[in-house]
Structure 1
């Protein structure tokens, strides 16, 4: 009948995967001569072959003759799987004559003394859609409604419902049968199935039965309670007048329910029906308790998702449950903790921020105490980011949070410490009142800092935000202590000599013999002996404990991290320029300049010696020399005002203004997101008011059932397209495998699922002869694996044969499918072959644009091994046009904000892109392009990084394809 859904066939395990399947003759012989155990294996192979697309109509009579009479329970079960999928109609659409014998056997099984055979037969009837077959089964099914065993009755009531749905003429009084059955039934499962049938056939009788059982609902079986809840939820959206009574009933049930399934279903129903904050809090509280109690992490994630949905649809209603949600943090799973923190973060307000931060501080302290636990470092970073986000929003909590996080600075790893410094940077910029105290706390905390990356960020903060004389002098004092004794070379040599002298005087004399050479003039004009450059390697004589006990800056410099020293040089120049603007005490100014020159020259000298683990690089050396020249030139009385203003712009104004813009952009982004969330859930001012008293019972003004919509989306896909668009998209995915002049024409319709590719192949015999043993063989290149090659078959002249091939995809890598068609030659000749065209799997079906934070992007960029660098030459009109084509062609999301991309006609463009595959693979890309002024071309590079080689190469091929497509010449006229 039109409108009846297609049955979902039962899947059968393939006993011989990868092996060649039997032919029809072999199947027939195996069914004729084999024992029951052999017939079971044969039936499994037959079912797998039929599910692959070959109906095997020739086997129907053999199965009726040799399988149907058997009393083996396993064979009988497989037989009913066979009846599900066997074609029951002939070419004219009429019932096949052999099915009469099948009907007689099914009727006998409906009266079988074994209740499990009866129940299995009744379950089969629920999947049968042919009225001609079902018509003969109706009397036996009605008899099974009164059978003594509940296993038979629970399927009999479902069979009655299924028969009525197929054709109401077969069982016109099905409603009365179900109603009478429900009145006398005592088994809870049977009552539940009967009530479900009654809700689908007669809403009034179902409502009456519900009213009669309201008083005893607390004592009913959980299965029947869930059926009641589902009926209430659906009926509430169809009859809004009863919604208030339904909500009260569900609240009573929720308060007394003990079954987790009932609690979950009732809470979800209440959240979809009600908008009252008290009801929503009750439902969300039960869900949170459920998430705390259950041990399965997947269930925790599902329940937390439902809580997030309630909060999203009703913003602000769950604010009082913020601390309750954070109880889930006791779970060890990082995904569950991340989900709970995300929900709690959206609920934090000025009323509960103190309590939330106290709890997060306690969690952070526990991670430090239990640092040996698995994933404690990741959890610590997650907590720091959450505390960062909360504290930035609330000024009253920022000061306490900064002091707490800075106390842990020495115990955190490089990434976590960098996150703390980023947090301090943002708070210092947003809240000027807290600036002085935060800078002092930062200077004190840096004494224990072990991360060079975090220390560089702290140097930038000290250089940018130290404004007063006292703040600058405190920073300078910290630098002096962090560098230690200068000059560094002489002090380190003295320590080495003293250490060696303590160990052995004889060894000391041998190791400290200097070469009898004269003094050496260094590039800066100073003198030095060659002892510092030819001294023994400090790594062999200084212990690790002593190296770790050095002050931070001295430790970084001696470890070879001269990038930090170049940042120190820029910070020193900033502090000197600021001090000159606010103070006229030239004694202090000259002292600062002299000490800064001593520090920078000392760093340069130690960078050229053997005392460091790695010699200074050219870039850092040049930056240090530039800083020295700026400080020396600053003492020149003939310095012009324009030079002075340029220095102040470069070192004082430029970087700080850039950071301010970055903060403003992030605030606008978060404000935009907040506005979108409010608009999504806000009621428009001009929305029509609906009066329930004036509306019809089946009024269209009733709100939609969100749960039913989710179920439909899960069944039909993420988006419901029109018939025209879906048809056109299907036509685009049809690929010809052979030519029209080949003896066998083949084409494939390609369907891409999440983890596999399905080829629906149609083969046409274009000859006037029957092609025997026709089969198709596929092979693959790349991370593809063929699940099964279909069996051979015979195709009549000008006949059609359809088969399905499933290919497993294990990564988003470029894959190629190739193969050939083989069939027997005539009169003892060799087999004949038809070579197939290659089919390329489109990796874009498995890559979706994604977003991530800048910190996470940089972390992955440094961690990923494979890089594919592609040069670009394109004649596109602008850089933004090329960026648009790149994002569309590679399915990568743009991470760089639109405000940072420049104008449409800009000459230079640099941005980051990110995508994620269906298999969890991350793909990073960096685009650096410019507009060549002479040729007008877009030139530059795309660098793609991924954890595996395949994804980087595949995306590189897509970038090359975009360039090739754009370089094709277009013919304007002839």
Structure 2
């Protein structure tokens, strides 16, 4: 039962052994402290296999009369394990004295002594010994103290289970006890015992208290729920009555524990939609009221499981689930949003979008630590709703574009990326979305966001009105052109103003003061050395002009491409030649202005060659009349088709992943059918989510015993006096070493101990015990090492044992054991934006040069993914044999939440090796170095060539 406890005793030193005579002398002459130490050593010796029957009378004579509480507790441990039967199987005569002592303790005035004795009786299995104690146990049921009564119930129950004739009326006695008892714990224990001894009596007791069941103590309510859950499987005819009873408890109970258990039981007993909604609403109530974030996540997961088992039933609870967003924990918010997205339908999608809008507006004005990440989660959720429900797509776009000015660069770029997908997916909404985007361009502050917005305008601004509006914004945002000439005029006017300010009121020029240089010398400023920089003027500059002057020429290149697309679009729309020529000239002037200012000293940094080439190419395209048709098709059709193909690839991969998940969880037509009625398991455990069983590891596939040979590590040499080997097993966050020691000498190795130390984020949890190993003997021991990160760890140590003389010792050094971090690294997936964000944030980079003799790039990529447990994020990276170049992004995540990123750039030379490099980034140095070593070893490996005979 739940209250029956057992004691584990640790043996500090197995090599030290005391003789029976020494124990006798310690028990005869020692004080209570000495006897306590002796009793502990006696218990350890007995647990190791030596029963020491000769000590029984000495313990009865010298330990049993003591009143020391610690000694009495150890005495009961001794009674539990000592041999109570003689060789013929009959009770030893000495046990009569023990029975008398137990009877006296059952009548002891101290209630805790009585309670401890009753707990000991629960562990006895000898009917002859229990027979004399029955009357005393029954009398304890009427003791004034609840601690005695609650243990007496279990003692009486165990006596009945050992031998029914010792207490044939135990169920009747417990039933009467239930009606007379007032303590909640005693009543709960009594009902648990009664439900196992007499189901009819337990049902009768529930029937007697059915009108008061909502007011009963939560402990008793939990016992009722557990009984109902078990009995409903064995007696399906009572399921409807049980369901009604559990629903009443669910609605009226004030205990959160009872509500959770009752709601879980309710989902097991029935599939009625109203009751499933009731259970779901109670789970939501718990997630809202409970302060513990773990409880919030558990209850939200239960709602998710309910939705999978009963799809479409919990849709009306979507807004209620989102009340959990008031919590500050980001993981809880993510879980709540993730569960809600599974419940969205066309009926409630608008309300959910409104709520997300309020949350998005609230994050703009709050100062929470994880504000940016939470805003990102909200945007991704709104994105998914707009993709799944066309009726809210336009409203969602308006909502996000209105708030784009308040978002961070990353979040705003996510919005633009999301707008791209919606515009392509819903052609009917393109005109309104592009019109809204053009109106929102003035709110954008980041060049990265501008680039995405200009791409959308260039691809999807099809009507002349939209093109004109976009052109007006670009013209006003660039400012006066040519840019270089206008900037020079602004600087010259600033210098003239500065010169005029140097003239004082009498018309004389003010004298310049000498300037002290960093080395302590004096210098005089002149107009040639002083650079006038008006920061207020920078703030008033148009946004595109300001970004270009700050050195963002990639934006200038994208802007040039957009201008080319708009000109070609106007040409396709049959715009009058006069207007088209004017706009073309303006576009070329803008591009030339960006090129010229990029070479001047008015920008923060010079224009890069790539951006300059792209802008020049755009100018050539606008002035090329020979291949105008081909260029127009490439700019207006091919780029859009490429983006459409990319979206189709992503959508296809999602469908394949869903189909794979469905296939893995589907029951095959030839699978065996399991009938619970014929099963020996209790209570719908197959249907109930059993956390204890999962924690015990039963859901994990059984280990292949033959694979253990690959994990055995030799620790010492064959010529050493003691041979040692270890089997390394990784279990979650622990490394367990099963060590086998073999004495290869003809002498006994005394006081042998194995000592371990670690290097890295490892910690030795327990120290192996000391032992004596006989000639050519074997000894097994186990030690556990705690792992706290996926960094490379090393375990080293030695074996120490006594020599021939007491002051001598022999030391054998053990080989180092390197922990394989691949056991903790798992393939993972993330979005492209998340990958880029982590790539920019992570500090540690390990660049590995690749030179491999593998036959193809695909073969190397497969080997790298298998060897590093990384997942390829680049679509289409799994290529054929004909390609000579490969660039791909890889991602993995450790069990400790550490992210590992990799970028692969390799080339297959003609009739030569694969060359290139792999860049690995992580937040910590250890993970980057470990994966780098693994990558280097993979690059060095080559396939063995067949030997020609």
Question: TM-score over 0.5 for the alignment?
Answer: yes
Task: Tell me, in whole angstroms, the C-alpha distance in 2 between the residues paired with 1:945 and 1:72.
Answer: 63
1:806-845 map, 5 Å: 806-827=784-805, 830-845=808-823
What displacement does 1:436 show?
1.7
2:267 maps to which of 258, 263, 271: 271
- 1:339 and 2:339 correspond: no
Structure-2 change in CA distance of 1:831 and 1:770 (3 Å): same
8 Å CA contact 1:237, 1:704 repeated in 2:
no
Alignment of 1:617-766 (within 5 A): 617-632=608-623, 634=624, 637=625, 639=626, 643-671=627-655, 705-707=686-688, 709-721=690-702, 725-766=703-744
Alpha-carbon offset, residue 306 of structure 1: 0.9
1:572 to 556, 563, 578: 563
Residues 30 and 962 of structure 1, relative CA distance in 2, 3 Å threshold: farther
Q: Give the deviation of 1:201 after TM superposition.
A: 4.7
Check the 8 A contact 1:572/1:596 in 2, yes or no: yes
Separation (CA, whole Å) in 1 of partners of 2:680 and 2:765: 51
Which one of the candidate residues 947, 957, 970 is aligned to 2:923?
A: 947
What is residue 473 of structure 2 aligned with on the other side?
A: 478
- Aligned-partner SS, 2:493: helix
Indicate which of 593, 601, 608 corresponds to 1:602.
Answer: 593
Stretch of structure 1 that moved more, 107-116 or 471-480: 107-116
Which of residues 436, 450, 461 is equivalent to 1:466?
A: 461
Kindly report which structure 2 residues correspond to 1:52-451, keeping only aligned pairs within 5 A, or say none: 71-73=67-69, 109-123=105-119, 141=137, 144-161=140-157, 178-179=174-175, 181-182=177-178, 184-370=180-366, 372-451=367-446
2:825 and 2:869 in contact (8 A); partners too:
yes
Paired residues, number: 921
1: CA distance between counterparts of 2:15 and 2:590? 85
What is the CA–CA distance in structure 2 between the aligned matches of 1:780 and 1:844, rounded to whole Å?
18
Whether the 8 Å CA contact 2:234–2:677 is kept in 1: the answer is: no
Aligned to 2:890: 913
281-290 or 954-963, which deviates more: 954-963
Q: TM-score scaled by structure 1?
A: 0.83
- Residue matched to 2:513: none
Tell me what 1:530 maps to: none
TM-score by length of 2: 0.85
Residues of 1 paired with 2:586 and 2:79: CA distance? 94
Report the Cα offset of residue 903 of structure 1. Answer: 4.3
Superposition pairs for residues 530-545 of structure 1, below 5 Å?
A: 541-543=533-535
Q: Does structure 2 retain, via aligned residues, the 8 Å contact 1:233–1:269?
A: yes
Cα distance in 2 for partners of 1:498, 1:24 equals 100
Inter-partner Cα distance in structure 1 for 2:647 and 2:315: 27
Q: Secondary structure at the match of 2:291?
A: coil
- Between the aligned partners of 2:94 and 2:809, the Cα distance in structure 1 is 38
The offset of 1:717, in angstroms, is 4.2
Q: 1:399 to 1:88 in 2, by over 3 A?
A: farther
Preserved CA contact (<8 Å) 1:736 1:748: yes
Using the TM superposition, give the Cα deviation of residue 843 of structure 1 relative to its aligned residue in structure 2, in angstroms.
Answer: 1.4
**Contact 1:892-1:913 at 8 Å conserved across structures:** yes
Per-residue CA shift, 1:7-37, capped at 9, x if unaligned?
Answer: 98668999xxxx9999668999999999878
1:50 and 1:412 map into 2 onto residues whose CA distance is: 70
Cα 1:76–1:919 shift into 2, 3 Å: farther
Structure 1 equivalent of residue 521 of structure 2: none
- The equivalent residue for 1:847 is 825
Q: 1-side partners of 2:205 and 2:387: how far apart?
A: 56
1:96 deviates by 14
Find the aligned partners of 1:801 and 1:736 in 2 and give their Cα distance.
15
Q: Is 1:868 aligned to 2:846, yes or no?
A: yes
Which residue is equivalent to 2:903? 926
> Shift in Å at residue 664 of structure 1?
2.2
- Which is worse superposed, 846-855 or 810-819? 846-855
Match among 961, 967, 973 for residue 942 of structure 2: 967
The secondary structure found in structure 2 opposite 1:811 is coil
| SS in structure 2 of the partner of residue 819 of structure 1 | strand
Distance 2:391 2:648 in 1: 20
Specify which structure has the bigger relative contact order, considering alpha-carbon pairs within 8 angstroms and separated by 6 or more residues.
1
Question: What is aligned with 1:560?
Answer: 551
Matched, 1:774 2:758: no
Moved more, 139-148 or 233-242: 139-148
CA distance in 2, matches of 1:825, 1:106: 49
Does 1:592 find its partner at 2:592? Answer: no
Preserved CA contact (<8 Å) 1:158 1:197? yes
Alpha-carbon distance, 1:60 to partner: 12
Change (3 A) 1:900 1:879: closer
The Cα shift of 1:58 comes to: 9.8
Q: Is the CA contact 1:116–1:152 (under 8 Å) kept in the aligned structure 2? A: yes
Return closer, same or farther for 1:969/1:648 CA change in 2, 3 Å cut-off.
same
1:100-144 Cα deviation digits (max 9, x unpaired): 799887666555432223334444565678999988877765554
The residue that corresponds to 1:956 in the other structure is: 932
Q: 1:56 to 1:556 in 2, by over 3 A?
A: farther
Structure 1 residue 67: deviation in Å? 8.1
More moved, 258-267 vs 194-203: 194-203
Contact 2:794–2:817 (Cα < 8 Å) also in 1: yes
Q: Distance in 1 between matches of 2:644 and 2:313?
A: 34
Q: For 1:870, what is the secondary structure of its paired residue?
A: strand
Q: Which moved more, 1:449-458 or 1:798-807?
A: 798-807
- Unpaired runs of 5+ residues, structure 2, are 511-526
Shift of 1:805: 2.2
**Contact 1:756/1:806, CA 8 A, preserved across alignment:** yes
Q: State how far apart, in whole Å, the 2-side matches of 1:129 and 1:893 are.
A: 57
Report which stretch shifted further, 623-632 or 665-674. Answer: 665-674
Q: Answer yes or no: is 1:456 the counterpart of 2:451.
A: yes
Indicate the SS of the match to 1:308. helix
Kindly tell me: are residues 859 and 405 of structure 1, through their superposed partners in 2, closer, same or farther at Cα, counting changes over 3 Å? same
Distance in 2 (CA, whole Å) between partners of 1:657 and 1:831 is: 79
Unaligned runs of 5+ in 1: 512-532
* 8 Å Cα contact 1:887/1:893 also seen in 2: yes
- Give CA-to-partner distance per residue, 1:743-783, whole Å, 9 cap, x none: 22333333323333232333333333222221111122221
Instruction: State whether residues 760 and 804 of structure 1, in contact with CA within 8 Å, keep that contact through their aligned partners in structure 2.
Output: yes
User: Residues 497, 782 of structure 1: CA spacing in aligned structure 2 closer, same or farther, 3 A cutoff?
Assistant: same
| Cα distance in 2, alignment partners of residues 452 and 99 from structure 1 | 93
CA distance in structure 2 between the partners assigned to 1:383 and 1:910 by the alignment: 32
CA gap 1:828/1:120 in 2 versus in 1, 3 angstroms: closer
